[in-house]
Chains A and B, each alone.
Chain A
Amino acid sequence: MSSPTKPKGLFGRLFGAKDKPAAPEAETHAVDAAAEPAEAAPSGEAIASGEALAETGPAPLEPAQAVDADAPARAAAAGTDSAEQPAPEPKKGWFQRLKDGLSKTSSKLSSGITGLFTKRKLDGATLDDLEDLLIEADLGVETATRITGAISKGRYEKGISADEVRAILASEVKRVLEPVAHPLVVDASRKPHVILVVGVNGSGKTTTIGKMAAKFASEGHKVMLAAGDTFRAAAIDQLKVWGERTGAPVIARAVGSDASGLAFDALRAATEAGTDVLLLDTAGRLQNKQALMEELEKVVRVLKKIDPSAPHSVLLVLDATTGQNAMSQVEVFARMAGVTGLVMTKLDGTARGGILVAISAKHKLPVHAIGVGEGIDDLQPFDAGEFAKAIAAG
């Protein structure tokens, strides 16, 4: 009937009158070949090939530091602390662990590739299959199509071996990821360097903060934690436990208190105490909850009252099991909270985290670290070459 349509015209009018921000929606279609090699200059971080990684890789969160020495200790700790490692080899490097974590993905991928390409011609059907394999790794349709396209370039209808495909796949993934692999550097000129940690519920913010605190403390930084998740029951207690483990003081208020007020207090306390790093936890929030996102904006605003340059880093914690929605998370959190870098957690499961490739292609946000377990030292710097290799090599 006529009437339903006319009021709708009205709605448009009414809505038009209000300046409501658009619903957070990601635009995925623009995932294109944007990551050009021109930008691929990795910031001073040696992308070591293969085995050499054990030495060069661990520049955990602070590149100036050679942390390799504590690798065995870490592994030992993992033995007791995170018993979830299935029979961890005594000196398993992080690459090995990442590989373990990714192995399910990549073994499937690479066995798939092997099945596909052993003495086969690179025809349309084969490429479709390859695209499917990438999609299963959560790279997303766009990115998978693009990478498949790159692989087929100049090789179409030619015989190609599995090894070749693997190498090309790795190099394509690496090409996208390399420009974004930057460890998080503590700015010594800031007292404190304020790191705000944000993300959706259950992505692993508090755990990541605990691990980061341990890392920074072991590097000799004076660390303070702020229990800004005043919503989730026991989030404060959880952070306090991490404070005890890492010897970092924890600024906390009662559950339900104002998060931005706490942020203000914490920054002031950290400044007075001469702290190097202030790690600020926040409550998990879905990016489409406008009110909660505005609350986060307020936290940032309040921090700037004390230190106009704060927060110096805003880390978005992404769960590797998340699918295409991670794109929307990055977009909205970047807009509302000014995300400066990413951490991807839960790469020790079967999840592939391939969405990171799509995110990197589009947003070019630095990826600082990856979480590969629940242990205190299961946070590792992100290394594009190794990540790509682990995906492609199996």
Chain B
Amino acid sequence: MFQSLSDRLSGVLDKLTRRGALSEADVGEAMREVRRALLEADVALDVVKEFVEAVKAKAVGQEVVKSVTPGQMVVKIVNDELVRMLGSDAEPVDLHASPPVAILMAGLQGSGKTTTTAKIGYRLKNRDRKKVLMASLDTRRPAAQEQLRVLGEQTQVDTLPIVAGQGPVQIAKRALDAARLGGYDVVLLDTAGRTSIDEELMQEVADIKAATNPHEILLVVDSLTGQDAVNTAKAFDARLAITGTVLTRADGDGRGGAALSMRAVTGKPIKLIGVGEKWDALEDFDPKRIAGRILGMGDIVGLVEKAAQNLDIEKAAKIAEKMKKGVFDLEDLAEQLAQMEKIGGAGGLMSMLPGVGKLKSQINEAGINKDVKRQRAIISSMTPKERRNPKVLDGKRKRRIAAGSGTTPADVNKLLKMHMAMADMMKSMGKKGGLMSRMMGMGGGGPSEAELAKMQQELAALDPKALEQLPADLKDALSGARGGSGLSKGLPGLGGGALPKGLPGLGGGPLLPGLGGPKFPGLPGKKK
């Protein structure tokens, strides 16, 4: 869809020689790409300009350490600044007031107010054990009040009985009265959708505010919103002095630049995001995740961390040793499959890439995870001799293995083909430079144990942020692979020895300057 920012930046910045510090000219050129990436993510233009200036100021003069490309440096700075602007800490909905605490929901038509109201009601009731009353003040859209009533039934949150012919302010007052009498903790007031220039309706919601004195006024905004987000935010904030925003449809494939716009224009925190059609699909806002998404970079940090936690360095060393001899047998493949299962299988891996989360369920449906289990079963059904030397497998043996593993000979053949492709890849990998070859021992005699341990330390010392360009490659690779390609095309950024593009800094060692960020928590310093 969009070229990721890191791809672009590497195009711009890779030609720079590794000078001591980023010059103003370097940064200026990079910022054009940053600007474009943000605009394509629907961040409002004014906000983009401000943001770019802020980043520029920070970036100029930054030291570029030799292990990191200038592009990575800039991405890191951009990312940090984004997170900072989005608000570093999640601010939950505040209920610290004398009950019943009124929460007013406002927004444009179709932004998702009513659904969000029900989700908040559900969350407060089930998670926070509050007694919640919901009331729809939407007397305009046909059946809007009915909709909230039905949602109340579905979520088992009480709703105010509908009285025909009442105006919004009347209903709001009635809701508060009912809440007082009924001993409710929270009253959620869902208002009619309106355009921000609809004076009459804006007045109406202002009247509702005056009549109910809500403790929270939440503006519900569709995360697919374009440049108009600023107008909406300004208009509603000017009129209602909102206390926060809720981003809906964050489970879409939009880049969510509206989040940054809203935050920048109103200065009010984004309190919640809607991530699905289920009642509990409402999450606290996580600036890091949204920042990664706006920049077109997934949550690779979690991915790498998790992988690092679970993978066993000893086994890796053993396999490297074997590969040195040019052997990659089915036992090694079984090991790989086992490790893959450990990190949650393909589904678990995918779910950590935002925007790809939905793919996960499809993968589960498609039974890819089951495939891993099945493939392991096939290998388990082989004799040690067969595992070490697959060449001996003839039709008869395959039939026996298929029967033993509850699969078909075709499945066995598929596995063998996959193994062969992998073995080929392993062999060819050594020709290219980079971490992979060092790890695999193909490049220069193989890593000693000491080398392995050292590399591990380097990995541990590396800030996860530096790895953030991975997802673009990953995503591309995945979509490509789903098209039915084989291994070679599967994950180009990773498998084919093209690693330097993804992780150029890995081998070097020193920390990025000023990036005292989190280390890989899961990586033990030394295992051997």
Contact = CB atoms under 8 A, between A and B. Distances in A.
Contact of A11 (B231, B316, B346, B436): B346
Contact of B227 (A2, A8, A352): A352
Contact of A135 (B45, B307, B313): B45
Interface in A1-45: 1-29
Contact of B1 (A10, A12, A28, A235): A28
A138 interface: yes
A350 interface: yes
B514 interface: no
Interface residues of A, number: 82
A373 B349 CA distance: 45
Nearest to A286: B252
A1 B454 CA distance: 11
A325 B368 contact: no
A15 B478 contact: yes
A28 B112 CA distance: 27
Given A11-B491, A323-B258, A141 B40 contact: yes
A26 B1 contact: yes
A108 to B, nearest CB: 10
Nearest to A140: B40
Interface stretch (A118-126, A201-209, A333-341): A201-209
B135 to A, nearest CB: 15
Interface stretch (A70-78, A173-181, A287-295): A287-295
B228 A138 contact: yes
A215 to B, nearest CB: 17
B319 to A, nearest CB: 7
Contacts of B24: none
B422 to A, nearest CB: 6
A25 B258 contact: no
B312 A3 contact: yes
Nearest to B452: A1
Nearest to A233: B150
Contacts of A351: 226, 228, 231
B252 A2 contact: no
B336 A13 contact: no
A322 B224 contact: yes
A10 B142 contact: no
Contacts of A4: 304, 307-308, 311
A136 B227 contact: yes
Interface string A107-142: 000000000000000000000000010011110110
Nearest to B371: A14
A221 to B, nearest CB: 22
Interface string B118-159: 000000000000000000000011111011111100100000
A86 B110 CA distance: 20
A11 B340 contact: yes
Nearest to A144: B39
A22 B479 contact: yes
B65 interface: no
A391 to B, nearest CB: 13
Contacts of A7: 336-337, 339-340, 343
A12 B481 contact: yes
Interface string A235-274: 1011011100000000000010000000000000000000
Nearest to A138: B226
Contact of B254 (A3, A202, A323, A350): A323
Contact of B195 (A10, A15, A348): A348
Nearest to B228: A351
Contact of A323 (B149, B224, B231, B362): B224
A291 B364 CA distance: 12
Contact of A1 (B144, B225, B439): B439
Contact of A288 (B3, B358, B483, B485): B358
Contacts of B487: 9-10, 12-13, 16
Interface string A45-87: 0000000000000000000000000000000000000011010
A350 B228 contact: yes
Given A13-B418, A241-B143, A355-B226, A350 B311 contact: no
Question: Interface centre among A8, A200, A201, A232, by most B CB within 10 Å?
Answer: A8
Contact of A374 (B140, B307, B316, B421): B140
A319 interface: yes
A324 B40 contact: yes
B422 A9 contact: yes
Nearest to B199: A86
B479 A2 contact: no
Question: Interface centre among A1, A19, A21, A287, by most B CB within 10 Å?
Answer: A1
A349 interface: yes
A12 B249 contact: no
Nearest to A231: B277
Nearest to A238: B143
A301 interface: no
A286 B251 contact: yes
Contacts of B227: 135-138, 323, 352, 354
B463 interface: no
A234 B143 contact: yes
B56 interface: no
Nearest to B488: A12
A3 B338 CA distance: 11
A328 to B, nearest CB: 6
A16 B368 contact: no
Contacts of A210: 142
A12 B477 contact: yes
Given A2-B440, A290-B358, A328-B1, A10 B253 contact: no
A346 interface: yes
Given A16-B489, A350-B235, 19 more contacts: A3-B311, A3-B339, A4-B307, A8-B491, A8-B495, A11-B346, A17-B414, A17-B484, A84-B201, A132-B45, A233-B148, A234-B143, A238-B142, A240-B143, A289-B358, A290-B358, A325-B42, A346-B195, A348-B195
Interface of A: 1-29, 83-84, 86, 104, 132, 135-138, 140-141, 200-204, 207, 210, 231-235, 237-238, 240-242, 255, 286-291, 319-326, 328, 346, 348-352, 354-355, 374
Interface of B: 1-3, 36, 39-42, 44-45, 108-112, 115, 140-144, 146-151, 154, 194-201, 222, 224-229, 231-232, 235, 249, 251-255, 257-258, 277, 304, 307-308, 311-313, 315-316, 319-320, 336-337, 339-340, 343, 346, 349, 355-356, 358-359, 361-363, 365-366, 368, 371-372, 414, 418, 421-422, 425-426, 436, 439-440, 455-456, 459, 474-475, 477-479, 481-487, 489-491, 494-495, 499
7 contacts: A8-B491, A10-B487, A233-B150, A323-B42, A323-B226, A346-B110, A350-B195
The 4 A-B pairs at the shortest CB distance, nearest first, are namely A12-B490, A323-B226, A202-B110, A234-B147
